[in-house]
Amino acid sequence: MTESTQALIVDDSRLARKELRHLLQEHPHITVAGEAESGQQAIDWLAQNHADVLFLDIQMPGMDGFELLQQLDHIPQVIFVTAYDQYAIQAFEHNALDYLQKPIEPQALQRAIARIQPQPAATSSTTNHGDRLLTQGDQVFVKDGEQCWFVDVADIRLFAVDGNYTTVHFAEHQPMIPKTLNHLASRLDPGLFFRANRNELINLKHIQSVEPWVQGIRIHLSGGEKIEVSRRQTQKFKEMMSL
């Protein structure tokens, strides 16, 4: 990893932040770009700055680490740092980069850092990092009840309106989130996601086949979903996908 990786340490304990910063000195390609002692302070910092990775405590006063992630539109890569029970590790073992138990062991930190992936540079079209479009290289945090996931945007096949919620289709999961389709469409790369109709937003990379339909076309996605595209949107789809 040749380029510097920008890190934000989020922990209510000043001593814990100091200890982690000290340990990270052994990894010169990791730059501690900032520190936050609360979830709100982290949100404010991320609204104005870029981080490739969060070293995130779970139990903090006012807003815990999970609640912090729910407030973010763009989620950096996350390494949890915790001294608490294993429930969080079990819930996120396939989603976060890693979990570091306090006190942090240098070898464990080294393994976690090795999992950090290079991130594409933020586009110059926006000045506020939180407002930039989410592309296939990004990761988002999804929470539905007690279940939580970190999901690569590229892995999301479909957003579909379900009453006052939107269902997110990825892998075998279909959690519901309290976001409107209009809001999601404004946050996602239009070169990757296409508004098929009033109720469905599809990932173009997950299209397996297209067939004629009485009102336009019907698109088959990799997860087996069949999406009916209106005549008006069919024309836009053809213009977008044609040579």
Clarify whether residues 187 and 110 are in a common domain: no
Clarify whether residues 180 and 110 are in a common domain: no
Q: Does residue 138 lie within any of the structural domains? A: no
Q: Does residue 133 lie within any of the structural domains? A: no
Q: Tokens 């006052």 label which residue?
A: 164
* pLDDT of res. 85: 61
Domain boundary among 66, 87, 114: 114
Structural domain total, the chain? 2
Q: Does residue 119 lie within any of the structural domains? A: no
pTM for this entry: 0.64
DSSP state of 113: H
Q: Does residue 98 lie within any of the structural domains? A: yes
What are phi and psi for residue 51, nearest 5 degrees? Answer: -135, 135
Domain boundary among 114, 142, 170: 114
Q: Does residue 26 lie within any of the structural domains? A: yes
* pLDDT of res. 232: 86
Clarify whether residues 107 and 170 are in a common domain: no
Q: Which domain does 30 fall in, by range?
A: 5-114
DSSP state of 35: E
The yes-or-no verdict on residue 136 having pLDDT over 50 is yes
Clarify whether residues 102 and 162 are in a common domain: no
Q: Does residue 43 lie within any of the structural domains? A: yes
Alpha helix stretches (DSSP H) within the chain: 14-24, 39-48, 65-70, 87-92, 106-114, 181-187, 231-241
Q: Does residue 95 lie within any of the structural domains? A: yes
Say how many Å lie between the first and final Cα of the chain, rounded: 37
Model confidence pLDDT, tens digit, residues 48-103: 999 999 999 988 999 988 888 888 877 888 999 988 766 555 556 546 788 888 99
The 10 Å Cβ neighbour count of residue 164 is 8
CATH of the domain at 29: 3.40.50.2300
* pLDDT of res. 126: 37
Burial class (CB in 10 A: 0-12, 13-18, 19+), 54: buried
